[in-house]
Amino acid sequence: MKWLVWLYPGSWRARYGDEFAAVLDSQRASVGLVLDLIGGAIDAHLHPQVLPSQSNQFMKPNQGEDTMTVAMLERCAAGGPKLSPGERRFASTLGILIALAMASLYLVLTKIFRQGPAVQAVIYASVLFTSSIRVQMSYLRNRSRTAQVLILGAELAVIYLFMLGACLIATKL
Amino acid sequence: MMRKNEENTDLAEFGQFSEPALLILVSLADEPRHGYSMTEDIEVVAGVRLGPGTLYGALARLEARGFIEPLKSDDRRNPYRLTALGERALRARLNSMMAVAQTGRRRLASA
């Protein structure tokens, strides 16, 4: 269930991630837990209590420091071009909806097929995909919504097939 | 209109997290605790098991408002303690609840 932590904003994870993971370790996986975590992630995106500057002092310019250098570092940091608040909200909502769909799919597939390679691949693919959704959206920001959906859908399919191959190989070893 | 720097200790502003926030403050009233310890304590005291998402949603609000503060720890399980402001917020809410409870009991007795 730890992969659901990636649904939370980066600044939130930087502040609470470790201790949150420690609490999660003590929980039994259940549908209720998944819903609680998804609800918490939606709340953390909609009502952020942790500002990025509180969790990342490196990027916080002090008065008199070279703010241009800091701005360049922010621009060049992993994550690509900065998203507007509206684009961030869209990316976060999309990530949460995809994670919700993948978690539901995983639970349904587990009920039907138990823990086969195809089911395992769903969880691995969704972790990889949802954790990088905001970065991907930053590079697709100038594309139309249709193009964004098609590109992301194709990417998800490729990641799933790759993970399925890896899981099949792992079962043969 | 609220004066600048005036303390606001009203937990009702926490919305759906007001009850978990109250339970957390009660849990921290006697000693600092980390997240897991709070969950266990709240379950014993109130019979409610808070999920991690709910617990940390309320914790983040309480910390942002200065009602609780983290203590330094080498462990990844970070303990929190009540601040003076948090203590006042807890007292105010408990007094308000007690007044409602006393009124309810009095009315039931006279019914």
Q: What is the pLDDT of residues B9-19, one digit of tens each?
A: 677 777 667 78
Euclidean distance between CA atoms B17 and A19, whole angstroms? 19
With beta carbons under 8 A apart, name residues in chain A contacting B63.
49
Q: What's the confidence (pLDDT) of residue B15?
A: 67
Residue closest to A7 by CA, chosen among A29, A31, A39, A32:
A39
Count residue pairs from A and B with Cβ separation < 8 A. Answer: 64
Express as a percent the part of chain A with pLDDT over 90: 1
Express as a percent the part of chain B with pLDDT over 90: 67
Euclidean distance between CA atoms B97 and B86, whole angstroms? 16
| pTM above threshold 0.90 | no
Q: What's the confidence (pLDDT) of residue A59?
A: 40
In the 8-state DSSP scheme, what is residue B2? P
- When pLDDT is averaged across residues B62-89 and rounded to a whole number, the result is 90
Euclidean distance between CA atoms A169 and B99, whole angstroms? 66
Confidence of residue A64 (pLDDT cuts 50, 70, 90): very low
Residue B38 β-bridge partners? none
DSSP H/E element including A153: helix A145-172
Residue B33 β-bridge partners? B80
Interface touch A40/B53, C-beta < 8 Å:
yes
A3-56 pLDDT, tens digit per residue, is 788 888 888 988 998 889 888 888 888 888 888 998 888 888 888 777 655 554
Q: What's the confidence (pLDDT) of residue A62?
A: 46
- Spatial contact of A134 and A83, defined as CB atoms under 8 Å apart: yes
A141-165 pLDDT, tens digit per residue, is 777 777 777 888 888 888 888 888 8
Euclidean distance between CA atoms A140 and A73, whole angstroms? 21
- CA A19 to chain B, closest CA, distance in angstroms equals 5
With beta carbons under 8 A apart, name residues in chain B contacting A20.
35, 52, 56
DSSP H/E element including B70: strand B68-70
**B54 → chain A, closest CA residue:** A40
Q: What is the ipTM of this complex?
A: 0.79
| DSSP string computed for A36-102 | HHHHHHHHHHHS--S-HHHH-GGG-PPTTS-HHHHHHHHHHSTT-SPPPHHHHHHHHHHHHHHHHHH
Confidence of residue B33 (pLDDT cuts 50, 70, 90): very high
- When pLDDT is averaged across residues B22-32 and rounded to a whole number, the result is 95
A1-15 pLDDT, tens digit per residue, is 677 888 888 889 889
Class of residue B90 by CB neighbours under 10 A (exposed 0-12, middle 13-18, buried 19+): buried
A113-135 pLDDT, tens digit per residue, is 777 888 888 888 887 777 777 67
